[in-house]
C-alpha cells in the first residue's frame, strides 16, 4: 500500500528566507504526488503535482518540488517566504495499487515570522 | 474551473439529530467524490468514496450506517451524519476528481464544521 511521511510537523522561517517542507513516499507503482495547502477552516488548494513527466515541478505562488525516485522524496521548496504562506501543507500520494485513492501525509504547519 | 461547492460551511446540531452535508461539482461532472474527516491539527482521513449510481465504498472503521452517503447525480454527493453525538463533531471535507484518471488532482470543497451539542 502507498504511504507518505512528512518529516516535520512544523517549520518556522523568517519572511524572505527559503522554505523547505520535506516529504517521503512509499509506492509499489509509479506514483502521482501532490502538494496541497490549507488555510485555517478552509478546504485545500492544489499547489502542484507530479505525474511522471518532468521531475522538477513548478506550482503556484512560487512553490516548486522535485521528484527524486532514488530517495523516494518529493520535497516542497520556495526561494523566499511570504507572510501569506503561513498555512498547513499536505503531501499526497496516489497510485493504481490503491485504486487511485489519495493518501495524505500528516501535514506540516508553516510559520512565517516578520 | 473545477469548482467544488460544499454546504453548509458550518452547522450546530443537538445530540441525536441528523445532519446532511452537500457536495456539488459546479462546472464538471464527477463520477467519484471523496469524503474526508479532519480532527483539529490533524491530517485528512478518508472516510468513503462516493460513486454515482452505486453504493459508496467505506474505509475500514467508518460506520456506514452512521455516515450515509448518496451520490444521486454526476454533480451532487451528500453525507448524512445520523443520530449525531458530540464525538462526531469535526471538520468534514469533500473532494472530486475531474475525469477518471488517477493522476488527476482532487478539487476540494471548503469544508463543513460540524458541532454537536
Mean pLDDT, to the nearest integer, of A65-79?
A: 96
Give the count of beta carbons closer than 10 Å to the beta carbon of residue A52: 11
State the burial class of residue B30 (Cβ atoms within 10 Å of its Cβ: 0-12, 13-18, 19+).
buried
As separate numbers, helices (DSSP H) first and strands (DSSP E) second, chain A gives 0, 12
C-alpha to C-alpha distance for A82 and B54, rounded to whole angstroms? 45
Please give the angle made by the CA atoms of A60, B97 and B29, to the nearest 5 degrees. 120
C-alpha to C-alpha distance for B50 and B28, rounded to whole angstroms? 16
Mean pLDDT, to the nearest integer, of A83-109?
A: 87
C-alpha to C-alpha distance for B24 and A91, rounded to whole angstroms? 25
Categorize the per-residue pLDDT at B9 as very low, low, confident or very high, splitting at 50, 70 and 90. very high
User: With 90 as the cut, is the pLDDT of residue B2 above it?
Assistant: no
Asked whether the beta carbons of residue A42 and residue B111 sit closer than 8 angstroms, the reply is yes
Q: Which of residues 51-70 of A touch B (CB under 8 A)?
A: 51-52
pLDDT at A62: 96
Mean pLDDT, to the nearest integer, of A72-95?
A: 95
DSSP structure class, residue B41: T
Give the count of beta carbons closer than 10 Å to the beta carbon of residue A114: 6
C-alpha to C-alpha distance for B5 and A99, rounded to whole angstroms? 25
pLDDT at A85: 96
User: With 90 as the cut, is the pLDDT of residue A94 above it?
Assistant: no
Chain A residues with CB inside 8 Å of B93's CB?
A: 43-44
pLDDT at A11: 98
Bridge-based pairing of strands A108-113 and A10-14 is parallel
Q: Is A83 helix (H, G, I), strand (E, B) or coil?
A: helix
User: With 80 as the cut, is the pLDDT of residue B10 above it?
Assistant: yes
Contacts with A4 (C-beta within 8 Å, 6 or more apart), sequence order: A23, A24, A25, A26, A91, A92, A93, A103, A104, A105
pLDDT at A95: 78
Give the count of beta carbons closer than 10 Å to the beta carbon of residue B28: 16
C-alpha to C-alpha distance for B58 and A92, rounded to whole angstroms? 20
For residue range B15-32, what is the model confidence (pLDDT) as tens digits?
999 999 999 999 888 888
Alpha carbon separation from A4 to A24, A64, B23 (Å, rounded): 6, 18, 27
Mean pLDDT lowest for which of A9-18, A51-60, B2-11, B83-92?
Answer: A51-60
Asked whether the beta carbons of residue A107 and residue B46 sit closer than 8 angstroms, the reply is no
For residue range B29-85, what is the model confidence (pLDDT) as tens digits?
888 899 999 988 788 899 999 888 888 999 999 999 999 999 888 899 999 999 999
Please give the angle made by the CA atoms of A12, A70 and A8, to the nearest 5 degrees. 20
Grid cell digits, residue A112: 512565517
B43, B102, B108 member nearest A43 (Cβ): B108
Asked whether the beta carbons of residue B102 and residue A96 sit closer than 8 angstroms, the reply is yes
Asked whether the beta carbons of residue A101 and residue B49 sit closer than 8 angstroms, the reply is yes
pLDDT at B105: 79
pLDDT at A37: 95
User: With 90 as the cut, is the pLDDT of residue A75 above it?
Assistant: yes
pLDDT at B17: 97
Contacts with B78 (C-beta within 8 Å, 6 or more apart), sequence order: B20, B21, B22, B23, B69, B70, B71, B72
Categorize the per-residue pLDDT at A15 as very low, low, confident or very high, splitting at 50, 70 and 90. very high
Is B4 near chain A, with CB under 8 Å? Answer: yes
pLDDT at A102: 81
pLDDT at B100: 67
Amino acid at each position: 500500500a502507498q504511504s507518505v511521511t512528512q518529516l516535520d510537523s512544523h517549520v518556522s522561517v523568517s519572511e524572505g528566507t527559503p522554505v523547505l517542507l520535506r516529504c517521503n513516499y512509499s509506492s509499489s507503482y509509479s506514483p502521482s504526488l501532490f502538494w496541497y495547502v490549507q488555510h485555517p477552516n478552509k478546504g485545500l488548494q492544489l499547489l502542484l503535482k507530479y505525474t511522471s513527466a518532468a521531475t522538477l515541478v513548478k506550482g503556484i505562488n512560487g512553490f516548486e518540488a522535485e521528484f527524486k525516485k532514488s530517495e523516494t522524496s518529493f520535497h516542497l521548496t520556495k526561494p523566499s517566504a511570504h507572510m501569506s504562506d503561513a498555512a498547513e501543507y499536505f503531501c499526497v500520494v496516489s497510485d493504481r495499487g490503491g485504486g487511485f485513492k489519495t493518501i495524505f501525509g500528516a501535514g506540516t504547519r508553516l510559520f512565517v515570522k516578520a | 474551473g473545477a469548482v467544488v461547492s460544499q454546504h453548509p460551511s458550518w452547522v450546530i446540531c443537538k445530540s441525536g439529530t441528523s445532519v446532511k452535508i452537500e457536495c456539488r461539482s459546479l462546472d464538471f461532472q464527477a463520477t467519484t467524490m471523496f469524503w474526508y474527516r479532519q480532527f483539529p491539527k490533524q491530517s485528512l482521513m478518508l472516510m468513503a468514496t462516493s460513486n454515482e449510481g452505486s453504493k459508496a465504498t467505506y474505509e475500514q472503521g467508518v460506520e456506514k450506517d452512521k455516515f450515509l452517503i448518496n451520490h444521486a447525480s454526476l454533480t451532487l454527493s451528500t453525507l448524512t451524519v445520523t443520530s449525531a453525538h458530540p464525538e462526531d463533531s469535526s471538520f468534514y471535507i469533500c473532494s472530486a476528481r475531474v475525469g477518471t484518471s488517477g493522476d488527476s488532482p482532487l478539487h476540494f470543497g471548503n469544508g463543513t464544521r460540524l458541532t454537536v451539542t
